[in-house]
């Protein structure tokens, strides 16, 4: 992996391929491994930039990964600012400092993508919004996340992860793709308690982003797994309807994590949208 200094922390990033920059933001509690299978398939079309977000994978939380009382907490806007800095570094290296980028965010990465769209609309060539939603947490969900943040420790991580997995994958993946289940579990249990606490607090405090949708001028692909229980197809249809220049696609044989469950179809949907939207 390459390393890039982003304010107070060093970002670990997989960079592969050539062409326009396509920056990926993974969900929670994952890391760059979520998108590597897709990046491999898209590297002949895009410069795929796949970071471990602040606190996750190899990237350390840094001082800005904590709140004013020193507890781990990363706001969605902080992640978005990190990625804007990373994109700016890469664009400068390519001698194209005002380059617009493509941004692909899944679930928590989708929340981050909306923060990016709000803060840096001038840098956005296109957005791929995957398996995510635009509203804030309900009070109950936010309280649940704050409780997790306050109590998670290394011993509790396996139970926390095993509780989540049935909601993340499609019934078909759970039943007949043990290699996908074990790769996902390994990625999730390798995250630190501080990362889980930081992401949980950040998501619990995020605000509603519905107002951003009609403001997005860049073309958007709203993409999701056919069997996603957390962001079901009908909910993604509703989000796409609020964006002026959105296309909708569904990834078959996948739940909440199509980049792992069906990377071929995920990559194909991206290429088809790109060719239909940006071909001269």
Q: Which of residues 67-126 bind ligand MLT (CB under 6 A)?
A: 107-108
Sole binder of ligand MLT in the list 104, 187, 203, 223 (CB under 6 A): 203
CB of 87 to ligand MLT, least distance (A): 21
Outline where the chain has alpha helix (H): 36-42, 76-93, 108-119, 139-151, 157-168, 171-176, 178-189, 193-204, 233-241, 258-261, 263-278
How many whole angstroms separate alpha carbon 8 and alpha carbon 58? 15
CB of 108 to ligand MLT, least distance (A): 3
Sheet of strand 124-130: strand arrangement: 2-6, 9-17, 47-51, 21-25, 101-106, 124-130, 220-225, 246-251
Please answer whether residues 218 and 124 qualify as being in contact, where contact means their C-beta atoms are separated by less than 8 angstroms: yes
- Binding of ligand MLT at residue 35 (CB under 6 A)? no
CB of 99 to ligand MLT, least distance (A): 27
CB of 73 to ligand MLT, least distance (A): 15
Interface mask toward ligand MLT for 216-235; x: CB under 6 A? --------------x-----
Interface mask toward ligand MLT for 155-194; x: CB under 6 A? ----------------------------------------
- Binding of ligand MLT at residue 27 (CB under 6 A)? yes
How many whole angstroms separate alpha carbon 81 and alpha carbon 77? 6
Chain residues binding ligand MLT by CB under 6 A are 27-28, 107-108, 203, 230
């Amino acid at each position: 992996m390459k390393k890039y200094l982003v304010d107070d922390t060093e970002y670990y990033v997989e960079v592969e391929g050539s062409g326009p920059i396509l920056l990926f933001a993974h969900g929670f509690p994952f890391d760059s491994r979520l998108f590597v299978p897709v990046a491999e398939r898209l590297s002949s079309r895009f410069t795929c930039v796949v970071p471990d977000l602040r606190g996750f994978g190899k990237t350390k939380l840094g001082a800005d990964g904590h709140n004013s009382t020193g507890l781990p907490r990363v706001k969605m806007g902080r992640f978005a600012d990190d990625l804007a800095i990373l994109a700016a570094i890469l664009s400068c290296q390519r001698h194209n400092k005002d380059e617009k980028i493509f941004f692909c965010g899944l679930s928590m990465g989708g929340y981050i993508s909306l923060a990016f769209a709000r803060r840096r609309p001038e840098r956005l060539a296109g957005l791929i919004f995957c398996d995510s939603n635009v509203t804030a947490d309900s009070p109950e969900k936010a309280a649940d996340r704050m409780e997790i943040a306050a109590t998670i420790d290394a011993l509790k991580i396996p139970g926390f992860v095993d509780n989540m997995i049935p909601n993340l994958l499609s019934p078909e993946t759970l039943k007949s793709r043990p290699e996908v289940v074990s790769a996902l579990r390994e990625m999730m249990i390798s995250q630190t308690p501080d990362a889980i606490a930081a992401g949980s607090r950040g998501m619990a405090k995020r605000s509603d982003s519905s107002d951003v949708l009609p403001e997005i001028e860049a073309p958007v692909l709203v993409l999701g797994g056919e069997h996603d229980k957390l962001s079901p197809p009908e909910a993604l249809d509703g989000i796409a309807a609020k964006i002026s220049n959105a296309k909708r696609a569904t990834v078959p044989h996948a739940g909440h994590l199509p980049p792992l469950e069906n990377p071929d179809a995920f990559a194909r949907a991206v290429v088809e949208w790109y060719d239909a939207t940006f071909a001269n």
